[in-house]
Amino acid sequence: MINSNTEVENLHVSPPDAKPVLCAGAVSKDGISLIHGDSLQALRSYGDNHFKVAIVDPPYGINAGKMTMGSGKHKFSKDKDWDSAIPTAEYFAELFRVSENQIVWGGNYFTEHLPPTPHWLLWDKKNPNLSFAEGELAWVRKGKNLRIFKHYSAMVEEGGKIHPTQKPVKLYRWVLDNYTSEGDLILDTHLGSGSIAIACHQMKRKLIGYEIDAEYYEKACKRFEEQTRQTALW
């Protein structure tokens, strides 16, 4: 079972020489910690290179939260403003400081903050009929040259789609398999649907993930609990 405490104010997830991370609430299970709070505030509290890899999917600044995406029960209305601007220069500076390597989804939107790199990832969604993007890019600080992962984006995973820009667990499993090792501590500053948490649990990686939106945070925690409970029954 997940240990949940929405009244948590001081969650000590940093090494002894770092300040405690302040958060509004957290859940923890098998090395996976999901925190409802501001990731930038937390990043300031971590020591240098605390995380092996940061795998993040920050806002692209294209107002995706104002777009209507999906269809049927997986349709998302235009009622969120989380994607109105890209993260600040301080966010990227702190991200580089606290992690040894970084994988940044939407890196093509953050060229003012990211140095040139030959190490890109491409998620080919294998769906030419999309009204949005047919693929997504991730900037990688250290790794191999351009890598391509092909996975049909229209496939709805167990638990349904709970976030308009939700990425599949299989995508994160592929990323973890190619850029991390078992036992590594991973950082995600924008948890969203929680797909990375499920993948980390399945592949025995540790994770600290932050989500500032209360609605998405609760849905991600519920999805993580349901998926990991099913895994335990296998």
Quote the strand ranges of 7-146, DSSP E: 10-11, 21-22, 25-29, 32-36, 51-56, 99-105, 120-124, 135-140
Place of tokens 């969120």: 80
Handedness of CA 153, 102, 19, 30 (dihedral sign): positive
Domain CATH for 168: 3.40.50.150
The CA-based angle 211-160-148, given to 5 degrees, is: 75
* Residue 231 lies inside a defined structural domain of this protein: no
Residue 158 lies in a domain: yes
Q: Which of 21-30, 95-104, 225-234 has the highest mean pLDDT?
A: 95-104
Residue 12 falls within a domain, yes or no?
no
Instruction: Note whether residue 232 is domain-resident.
Output: no
| Within-domain flag for 220 | no
Q: How is residue 48 annotated by DSSP?
A: T
178 in a structural domain: yes
- How confident is the model at residue 74, as a pLDDT? 47
206 vs 42: CA distance, rounded Å: 17
> What letter would DSSP give residue 138?
E
SS3 192: coil
The predicted-structure confidence for 60-96, as pLDDT tens digits, reads as follows 988 765 555 554 444 555 566 665 789 999 999 999 9
* Domain tally, the chain: 1
Whether residue 16 has pLDDT greater than 50: no
Query: What are the E-state strand segments in the chain?
Result: 3-5, 10-11, 21-22, 25-29, 32-36, 51-56, 99-105, 120-124, 135-140, 147-150, 185-188, 206-211
In this prediction, residue 157 has a pLDDT band, given cuts at 50, 70 and 90, of low
- The token duo for 89 is 């220069």
Classify residue 215: in a domain, yes or no.
no
Mean pLDDT to the nearest integer, 207-218: 95
Residue 166 placed within a domain: yes
The residue with tokens 């937390």 is 42
What the block records as the tokens of 12 is 């000590």
Distance CA 27, CA 38 (A): 15
pLDDT: which is higher, 154 or 57: 57
Mean pLDDT, range 118-134, rounded to an integer: 85
Question: What domain range is 176 assigned to?
Answer: 23-60+84-194+203-210
Q: Which residue has the higher pLDDT, 14 or 42?
A: 42
Q: Say what percent of the chain tops pLDDT 70.
A: 75
- Is residue 123 within 8 A of residue 149, CB to CB? The reply is yes
Residue 78 sits at the vertex; the CA angle it makes with 74 and 81, to the nearest 5 degrees, is 115
Taking every pair of C-alpha atoms in the chain, what is the biggest distance, in angstroms?
A: 51
pTM of the model: 0.83
